[in-house]
């Protein structure tokens, strides 16, 4: 990429965890490359969107993935956007045979609109399903893993013979799931119930790789490649030890019965934790650290980024 050429980058889910992390990484000083950030949000008047809009380096665009073509029209039309970061939200509904899930429909439609409007590099945030190569052929039985696998396959197929390149990021469980409050306690208890290691990643590191994939789009590590993202691999007992060392207190858990009830009520989560126990993630952490020497382990995340006091 020419360092004198300013690229327009459209970041979807700009007020969410992953989109926000990508924007923060793009705003690094010095920047990865000269760019203009277009931040997509469903409600431009929200406090989070207004905070983004207050930055002169960011232009906020209101829109949603239900109307993908309109998003690109607002962004300037054909050939205006050079690169895209897309993260899709799971519908959390039971998948029906022969019926395309809403997440898949939106993901495919947005990709089609990006291709039609001349986007050159497309970054999609998916999920690891057992390793970089294994994930291509392994949808799993977890509904929101299946939907992302389907979007991945669509991107891979449709970019063949086109001028667009892609990078698929496959993060594992978020360290940020362990946050103060009820959900964080459920997550800690469900983690403890696993009885085995769980790979985790900081969302800030997902942001780094999102920005890096756009900057180094022509690098063999990122051009038409999928990369699993993980910064640590540890049991809940080891995570608890990291909490003691970082915050001088233990991880707070909910009662195991409540955690089990929560997983049962939200069936998608129950299937996911069962998959963690029987199969599990398979990211190459050493590769992640080679590409990002500042990749955070759980203790570092607790010390530098968590909201725990």
pLDDT digits (tens, 9 = 90+) for 73-97: 999 999 999 999 999 998 766 677 7
So where are the chain's domains? Answer: 7-172+203-229+283-295
Which of 63, 30, 7, 26 minimizes the C-alpha distance to 206? 26
Beta sheet of 121-125, edge-to-edge order: 58-62, 35-41, 7-11, 83-87, 121-125, 165-171, 225-229
Q: What is the pLDDT of residues 248-261, one digit of tens each?
A: 999 998 876 676 76
pLDDT for 1 beyond 50: no
In terms of pTM, does the model score above 0.75? yes
pLDDT for position 262: 65
The pairing of strands 232-234 and 198-201 is antiparallel
Q: How far is CA 52 from the centre of its chain?
A: 19
CATH number of 7-172+203-229+283-295: 3.40.50.720
Task: Identify the band that residue 5 occupies on the pLDDT scale cut at 50, 70 and 90.
Answer: confident
**When comparing pLDDT for 33 and 172, which is higher?**
172
Tokens read off for 214: 């756009």
Q: What does the pLDDT average to over 296-301?
A: 98
pLDDT the model gives residue 56: 94
Alpha carbons within 13 A on the beta-carbon side of 49: 17
Q: pLDDT tens, 6-55? A: 899 999 999 999 999 999 999 998 888 899 999 999 999 999 999 999 99
Please, what is the average pLDDT of the chain? 93
Q: Is the pLDDT of residue 204 over 50?
A: yes
């Amino acid at each position: 990429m020419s360092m004198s050429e300013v690229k327009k980058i459209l970041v979807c889910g700009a007020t969410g965890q992953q989109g926000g992390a990508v924007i923060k990484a793009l705003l690094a000083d010095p920047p990865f490359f000269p760019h203009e950030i277009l931040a997509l949000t469903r409600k431009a008047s929200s406090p989070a969107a207004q905070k983004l809009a207050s930055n002169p380096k960011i232009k906020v665009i209101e829109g949603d993935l239900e109307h993908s073509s309109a998003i690109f029209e607002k962004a300037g039309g054909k050939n205006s956007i050079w690169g895209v970061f897309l993260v899709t939200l799971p519908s959390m509904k039971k998948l029906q045979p022969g019926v395309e899930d809403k997440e898949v429909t939106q993901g495919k439609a947005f990709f089609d609109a990006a291709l039609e409007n001349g986007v050159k590099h497309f970054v999609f945030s998916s999920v690891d399903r057992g390793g970089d190569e294994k994930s291509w052929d392994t949808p799993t039985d977890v509904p929101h893993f299946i939907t992302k696998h389907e979007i991945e396959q669509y991107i891979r197929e449709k970019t063949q013979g086109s001028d667009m390149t892609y990078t698929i990021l496959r993060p594992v469980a978020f360290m940020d799931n362990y946050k103060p409050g009820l959900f964080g306690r459920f997550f800690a208890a469900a983690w403890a119930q696993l009885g085995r290691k769980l790979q985790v990643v900081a969302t800030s590191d997902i942001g780094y790789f999102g920005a890096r994939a756009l900057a180094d789009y022509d690098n063999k590590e990122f051009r038409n490649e999928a990369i699993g993202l993980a910064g640590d691999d540890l049991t809940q007992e080891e995570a608890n030890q990291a909490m003691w060392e970082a915050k001088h207190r233990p991880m707070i858990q909910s009662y195991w019965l409540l955690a089990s009830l929560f997983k049962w009520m939200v069936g998608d989560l129950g299937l996911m934790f069962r998959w963690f126990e029987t199969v599990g993630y398979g990211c190459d952490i050493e590769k992640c650290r080679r590409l990002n020497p500042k990749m955070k382990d759980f203790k570092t995340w607790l010390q530098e980024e968590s909201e725990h006091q």
